Amino acid sequence: MSLNPFDLYDVASLLTEEERAVQESVARFTNERVLPIIGDCFDQGQFPKELISEVAEMGLLGATLPEQYGGSNLGYVSYGLICQELERGDSGLRSFVSVQSSLCMYPIYAYGSEEQRMRWLPDMAAGKVIGCFGLTESHGGSDPASMKTRATKDGDAWVINGSKMWITNAPMADIAIVWAHTEDGIQGFVIEKGTPGFTVQEIKKKMSLRASATGALFFDNVRVPDANRLPNVKGLKGPLGCLTQARYGITWGPIGAAQACLEEVLAYTKERILFGRPVAATQSAQIKMADMARRITASQLLSLQLGRLKEAGKMEPTQVSLAKWNNCRMAIDIARECRDLLGGAGITTEHAAIRHALNLESVITYEGTETVHQLVVGRELTGINAF
Ligand code: TGC
Ligand code: FAD
């Protein structure tokens, strides 16, 4: 076999030398440091905190930001490849990097003052300050404009009341980027751990993203200085702009999860002898695996072109919605089909398929559900807002 089964169209040949080097180094990290431990982390419901310093040393936190803020000044295709290779390990680790980079460092960089950038970004890039992003509230995450969290000006400070739900990294975060209604529209605030009235509760009993820490945030008359308000954006476009960054990376991540599942099932079906021949020698198994490769290949090309558009400053949110929808759907279907091809062996975390399938239930839900992204594309096509 001369083609790479996980890159049938030789997408690697479309990458620059730097992009290939980034992909190779993150792939090595995933193989050597993530895969040996991640099944146990998932079983135990633990995020592998011990990997944070290594991820930071590799320059994966705020990777696209300029070096003066601790970033690695990488292009967006490199960032996508980082997400892909991390999610080949586990969606939880990719989530950690997405939230830290796209949802926390990005708004400080894009909407913060120079003082705020210097105050937080270098320590965040070094993994010394961990962030979380509070937009969703319990009464309806798809409709963030309906948020009830409110910030009221009081002298040179703000008083924040409300709550946020389903917040990645919350239980271990040093700062929370919190979006709240104000007299002047929705604004973003950096709330530091330990601020009186600010509490965090871990969400337990998750069957998905078990190797990621998720929590709820509560604000009871939390007093925040005006110096912690992000001054350069007002309105829903602030948080939605962050989501566009994160969703872009998330289009790449599920490609890695799907590749991991296909790799596992290719090996398994060659070894598994049923009715006197390997399962891989049956027509139905080959058709299923060929179809997985077809969908993975299409998703790789979609994300690569999206990345090139982003690098050229031409990427539109609707294009991100199409790829987030397509690639999450592709990966969750493949993970479920791989679980099936593994038979009973597929129901334990000794194999990766069920872990990826369960994780992808979150990935297809967060950062805009599949329905939300379908309606964004439908609105673009028809010009009619169906929300
Ligand atoms: P609309 O009221 O029309 O627009 C408001 C303003 O925002 C602008 N805008 C965007 N800007 C940047 N990127 C986007 N994707 C944008 N979409 C809209 C828009 O131009 C407008 O600007 P202006 O200047 O006119 O005020 O809002 P809409 O109708 O477009 O939005 C509706 C809808 C449903 C698409 C939106 O509310 C939505 O996306 N809902 C889903 C919410 C969501 O995805 N939440 C995710 C929370 S964070 C998370 O899940 C993290 S998980 C992380 C992990 O663990 O990896
Ligand atoms: P709802 O919005 O209540 O949606 C329920 C159902 O209604 C869905 O099927 C949806 O598709 C459907 N629906 C919505 N609108 C329509 C419509 N117009 N027509 C038809 N159907 C519709 N949020 C953060 O802010 N920060 C985080 O770090 C974060 N991390 C997360 C981590 C995990 C593990 C999970 C599971 C979620 C996380 N979220 C986070 C929240 C996530 O963004 C929301 O779960 C998501 O936006 C959906 O909101 P919801 O759960 O309230 O569902």
Q: Is 298 in the pocket of ligand 1 (CB under 6 A)?
A: no
DSSP string, 299-327: HHHHHHHHHHHHHTT---HHHHHHHHHHH
Q: How confident is the model over 19-26, as a mean pLDDT?
A: 98
Q: Which long-range contacts (CB under 8 A, 24 or more apart) does 67-71 make?
A: 69/105, 69/109, 69/117, 69/118, 69/121, 69/122, 69/125, 70/121, 70/122, 70/123, 70/124, 70/125, 70/126, 71/105, 71/121, 71/125
Q: What's the pLDDT tens digit per position in 244-289?
A: 999 999 999 999 999 999 999 999 999 999 999 999 999 999 999 9
Which ligand has its closest atom nearest to the C-alpha of 250? Answer: 1
DSSP string, 19-36: HHHHHHHHHHHIIIIIHH
Q: Is 243 in the pocket of ligand 1 (CB under 6 A)?
A: yes
Share of the chain above pLDDT 90, in %: 99
d(CA 269, CA 286): 10
Question: Domain limits of the chain?
Answer: 11-125, 131-228, 237-382
Share of the chain above pLDDT 70, in %: 100
Q: What's the pLDDT tens digit per position in 194-209?
A: 999 999 999 999 999 9
Which ligand has its closest atom nearest to the C-alpha of 249? Answer: 1
Distance of CA 369 from the midpoint of ligand 2 (Å): 6
Q: Is 363 in the pocket of ligand 1 (CB under 6 A)?
A: no
Q: Is 374 in the pocket of ligand 2 (CB under 6 A)?
A: no
Q: Is 365 in the pocket of ligand 2 (CB under 6 A)?
A: yes
Residue 2's pLDDT band, with cuts at 50, 70 and 90, is confident
Q: Inform me whether the pLDDT recorded for 1 exceeds 80.
A: no
Q: Which atom of ligand 2 is nearest to the CA of 99?
A: 28
Q: Is 166 in the pocket of ligand 2 (CB under 6 A)?
A: yes
Q: How confident is the model over 18-39, as a mean pLDDT?
A: 98
Beta-carbon contacts of 189 under 8 Å, excluding residues fewer than 6 positions away, are 151, 158, 160, 177, 178, 179, 180, 224, 228, 229, 230
Q: What's the pLDDT tens digit per position in 175-184?
A: 999 999 999 9
Q: Is 142 in the pocket of ligand 1 (CB under 6 A)?
A: yes
Q: Inform me whether the pLDDT recorded for 350 exceeds 90.
A: yes
Known catalytic residues are 367
Residue 384's pLDDT band, with cuts at 50, 70 and 90, is very high
Q: Whose CA is nearest to atom 20 of ligand 2?
A: 371
Distance of CA 328 from the midpoint of ligand 2 (Å): 14
Q: What's the pLDDT tens digit per position in 311-343?
A: 999 999 999 999 999 999 999 999 999 999 999
CATH of the domain spanning 131-228, picked from 3.40.50.300, 1.10.150.120, 2.40.110.10, 2.30.110.10: 2.40.110.10
d(CA 96, CA 124): 12
Q: With CA atoms as reference, report the closest residue to 333 among 304, 308, 360, 303.
A: 360
Distance of CA 141 from the midpoint of ligand 2 (Å): 4
Q: Whose CA is nearest to atom 56 of ligand 1?
A: 95
Distance of CA 250 from the midpoint of ligand 2 (Å): 15
What pLDDT is attached to residue 27? 98
Distance of CA 365 from the midpoint of ligand 1 (Å): 14
Q: Tokens for 160, please give them.
A: 């924040």
Q: Is 280 in the pocket of ligand 1 (CB under 6 A)?
A: no
Q: Inform me whether the pLDDT recorded for 83 exceeds 90.
A: yes
Q: What is the mean pLDDT of the chain?
A: 98
Distance of CA 144 from the midpoint of ligand 1 (Å): 8
Which ligand has its closest atom nearest to the C-alpha of 373? Answer: 1
CATH of the domain spanning 237-382, picked from 1.10.1200.10, 3.30.70.1140, 1.20.140.10, 3.90.1650.10: 1.20.140.10
CATH number of 11-125: 1.10.540.10
Which ligand has its closest atom nearest to the C-alpha of 370? Answer: 2
Beta bridge partners of 150: 161, 181
Q: Whose CA is nearest to atom 51 of ligand 2?
A: 141
Q: Is 372 in the pocket of ligand 1 (CB under 6 A)?
A: yes
